[in-house]
Amino acid sequence: MDICYESDAQMSVDSDDDTDWTRNFSDNVRVQEGIHPTTATSPLGKCRKTLGKAPMKAPSQRVILHFDLDCFYAQVEMIQNPELRNKPLGIQQKNIIVTCNYMAREHGVTKLMFVTTAKERCPQLVLVSGEDLTHYREISYKVTELLEGYSPLVERLGFDENFMDVTDMVDAKLRQEPVPSDFTVNGHIYNRQSLDTRAEAHMRLAIGSHIAAKVRAALHTKLGLTGCAGIATNKLLAKLVSGTFKPNQQTTVLPESTADLMTSQAGLRKVPGVGHRTAQRLQTLGLSSVRDLQCFPLAQLEKEFGVSAAQRLHNLSLGIDDTPVTPTGPPQSLSDEDSFKKISTETEVLEKIEELLTSLLDRMHKDGRQPRTIRLTIRRFSATNKWFSRESRQCPIPSNIGKKIISGGQDAKAPLVNITMKLFHKMIDRNNPFHLTLINICFSNLQARGADGKGSISFFFTQRSPSKPADQEKSCLEDTIDTSFSDTSLGEAELGLIPVFSNSSRATYRGN
């Protein structure tokens, strides 16, 4: 439907940040002299006094891998049609190239380029529609399933990225046999740092690099996919380092190179967890680089953002991340959306809602769970605030309609269209002109079939209304519980630049 498409997320941190896993950064992690994994001679040395003096946890012994598949959509298409392998290939959604293979990139084609521009640069470019996400979704889950065969601690990040905690595997390897003195890292070492076989942290990461190489080889052998990997002591560093060498390569960052990796980021927006609005607020404080944020007095940062958010930002800039790799599990919501230049009539809105619901109902039936909540999100046109004007309304789905959803067919479509249009009227005054550029419908609060039965625990804790079923639809709309404006699209994120991470079913594709 749109270049902003389903995967595993849609959320914001502080109403604007584009990563969920950074939300859980420890609020108590502070910097202490001699403990942070930067050395006394690091670039941070000159601003040590401004970094705070509260105690910080010692560097983690975890080994975290980050896998990022190469030009995922293009790879899937080339696997389906091997004749495309030796041709410049672009995946098209609307009038945008959402990703392209490396042969196309050699001809000057880039992701998020207009199709007309791409064809001018590469007349022989083969275009394949990427509107139908079904096969991409299927392959994506096969990737995650393969990774889970190595470790149960696998966390999805959209269609093409996964975190994997292999700490236990490394521990087991160390218990089995001593590491030979000539043991080395598989792949690149960030900053060309030398491996010290006497340093435990180095050897743990070196073992992790061999696990990463083995997993990448399995991805290619079993699924035909190539990708990059980052190996580090936490999720933040693993993600940042994974794309250092592309395509189909891997990079390990040793603790002593943490400072260099962080300060090498082109700007604060390159750091996962720093969203558009947060970056703007930091810029008003005179902060435009990671180094600026590292050296900025924490007390002043707390005045602007509050203690918790300030500490999170401070930790991010230093490469500190205690968040665990959390197995993703089934998506917490299913959604679909479409963007367009202009919808300005109720008839057009109705047609688009019917189109989106048709697709969602089919997916919901295949999922097998019953949604309890429906949310409608719209984006109004704004010449001055193009990307950050989403507004949402949501309400419970009456039980009788929910049962129709999981039973299959399209019997639930008509009542859901009615509910969704009422949500729409809560946001839009039909007597005044309107200009919409996006509509999103989301089913959330998914529950397993039969979870609300009288024999279930939830039955006894659910407040039931004595009203008739016919009244339920009305009451749910009168009790709308969400009227939020959010910039989850994040400008570039909406165009596919940045992944939005959380355990739901929609994310914005970053490409690769």
How much is the average pLDDT of 64-69?
98
Q: Give the tens place of pLDDT for each residue, 195-214.
A: 999 999 999 999 999 999 99
Neighbour tally for 196: CB within 10 Å:
12
In this predicted model, which residue has the larger pLDDT, 446 or 506? 446
How much is the average pLDDT of 19-39?
35
Size of the chain in residues:
512
pLDDT of residue 328: 79
pLDDT of residue 184: 95
Phi and psi angles of residue 390, each rounded to the nearest 5 degrees, phi first: -85, 140
User: pTM for the complete prediction?
Assistant: 0.69
In this predicted model, which residue has the larger pLDDT, 487 or 137? 137
The whole-angstrom separation of Cα 506 and Cα 486 is: 15
Residues contacting residue 152 through CB under 8 Å, at least 6 positions apart: 327
Percent of the chain with pLDDT over 70: 75
pLDDT of residue 389: 73
Structure tokens at 93: 């959604």
Among the listed ranges 297-311, 337-351, 496-510, which one has the minimum average pLDDT value?
Answer: 496-510
In this predicted model, which residue has the larger pLDDT, 65 or 22? 65
Q: Give the tens place of pLDDT for each residue, 150-199.
A: 999 999 998 999 999 999 999 999 999 888 888 999 999 999 999 999 99
* Distance linking the first and last C-alpha atoms of the chain: 20
Residue 489 has pLDDT above 90, yes or no: no
Structure tokens at 95: 């009038």
Say if residue 247 is preceded by a cis peptide, omega within 30 of 0: yes
Strand order in 96-100's β-sheet?
113-114, 96-100, 89-93, 126-129
The per-residue b/e assignment along 3-13, b for 16 or more CB within 10 angstroms, e otherwise, is bbbbbbbbbbb
In this predicted model, which residue has the larger pLDDT, 259 or 27? 259
Neighbour tally for 344: CB within 10 Å:
11
The whole-angstrom separation of Cα 27 and Cα 25 is: 6
Question: Is the CA virtual torsion 255, 68, 497, 357 positive or negative?
Answer: negative
Q: What is the mean pLDDT of the chain?
A: 80
pLDDT of residue 60: 60
* pLDDT level of residue 114 (50, 70, 90 thresholds): very high
Find tokens 């080994």 and name the residue: 63
Q: Give the tens place of pLDDT for each residue, 3-23.
A: 333 333 333 323 333 333 433
pLDDT of residue 179: 85
Residue 488 has pLDDT above 80, yes or no: no
pLDDT of residue 407: 85
Query: Do 173 and 195 meet the contact criterion of CB atoms below 8 Å apart?
Result: no
Find tokens 């039980």 and name the residue: 399
Structure tokens at 164: 């994997």
* pLDDT level of residue 350 (50, 70, 90 thresholds): very high
Query: Do 369 and 447 meet the contact criterion of CB atoms below 8 Å apart?
Result: yes
Neighbour tally for 42: CB within 10 Å:
17
Q: Give the tens place of pLDDT for each residue, 411-462.
A: 899 999 999 999 999 999 988 999 999 999 999 999 987 655 444 444 444 4
The whole-angstrom separation of Cα 305 and Cα 314 is: 11
Residues contacting residue 178 through CB under 8 Å, at least 6 positions apart: none
Instruction: Give the highest mean pLDDT range of 49-53, 70-74, 445-449.
Output: 70-74
Q: Is 161 a catalytic residue?
A: yes
The whole-angstrom separation of Cα 83 and Cα 89 is: 11
pLDDT of residue 493: 31
Rounded to 5 degrees, what angle do the CA atoms 466, 472, 477 make? 135
CB neighbour class for 26 (10 Å; exposed up to 12, middle 13-18, buried from 19):
middle
Residue 467 has pLDDT above 80, yes or no: no
How much is the average pLDDT of 77-89?
95
Q: Give the tens place of pLDDT for each residue, 368-414.
A: 999 999 999 999 987 666 555 789 999 999 999 998 998 876 789 99
The whole-angstrom separation of Cα 186 and Cα 205 is: 10
pLDDT of residue 34: 33
Residue 475 has pLDDT above 70, yes or no: no
Give one word for 322, left, alpha or beta, with left for phi > 0 and alpha for psi -120 to 50. alpha
Marked catalytic residue, from 77, 161, 256, 473: 161
pLDDT of residue 58: 42
| Rg (alpha carbons) of the chain, rounded to whole number | 24
